[in-house]
Amino acid sequence: MAEDANKSQESPKTEISGGMNGWELARAYIIPQRYQKIFSPQEGLRKGTIFQELVRPYKPDKGVRFAEGLERSDYDE
């Protein structure tokens, strides 16, 4: 998932805070979400979250066989 922060970036410690400098080994980090504009309740319910930055639509793999009668376009949001 995109939230995993195992890339070279500036240390998240400014947001997460903590006692030591830089990144630690053998430890997982998730970038904390910052509060931004939220969807209307109607749109939020339809999308499954009120947070735009957490929307992750599912696009079925092209190699996957679809059940009979299913249109590919049904899954494109």
Interface with other proteins, residue 30, by CB under 8 A: yes
Least distance from other proteins to the Cβ atom of residue 22, Å = 13
- Please, which residue, 1 or 8, has the CB nearer to other proteins? 1
Provide the minimum distance between the beta carbon of 8 and other proteins in the complex, in angstroms, as a whole number.
19
Of residues 8, 9, 29, 1, the one with CA closest to residue 17: 29
27 lines the binding site for other proteins (CB under 8 A): yes
> Is 23 an interacting residue with respect to other proteins (CB under 8 A)?
no
* Contact between residue 28 and residue 34 where contact means Cβ atoms under 8 Å apart: no
Distance CA 38, CA 51 (A): 5
